[in-house]
């Protein structure tokens, strides 16, 4: 299911976290979709713009800006 990490390993260069938890990460799945590991901020759904929504089976996940910016070279340009 998890095919390829997108961006650098969050533990690269000796970065540590307790039990490898609390490390934002982006993964490409074997079907081409993406999975994001980050802080669950679904409680802020009421602050979404009116054109956005979060369904009962969805979560809003925050990742640090650096995680996405560093992953940019690994993100495909085309669908």
Distance CA 39, CA 13 (A): 22
- Work out the end-to-end distance of the chain between its first and last CA atoms, rounded to an integer number of angstroms: 19
12, 37 contact by CB (below 8 A):
no
Q: Three-class SS of residue 29?
A: strand
Q: Which residue has the higher pLDDT, 76 or 14?
A: 76
Using alpha carbons, select from 32, 24, 29 the residue that is nearest to residue 2.
29
pLDDT tens column, 3-51: 999 999 988 876 666 555 668 999 999 999 999 999 999 999 999 999 9
Residue 17: its pLDDT value, please? 61
pLDDT tens column, 52-73: 999 999 999 999 999 999 999 9
Residue 14: its pLDDT value, please? 67
Residue 24: its pLDDT value, please? 92
């Amino acid at each position: 299911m998890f095919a390829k990490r997108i961006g650098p390993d969050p533990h690269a260069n000796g970065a540590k976290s307790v039990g490898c938890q609390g490390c934002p990460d982006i993964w490409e799945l074997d079907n081409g979709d993406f999975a994001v590991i980050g802080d669950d901020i679904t409680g802020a759904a009421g602050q979404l713009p009116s054109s956005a929504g979060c369904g009962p089976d969805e979560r809003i996940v925050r990742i640090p800006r650096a995680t996405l910016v560093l992953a940019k070279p690994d993100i495909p340009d085309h669908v």
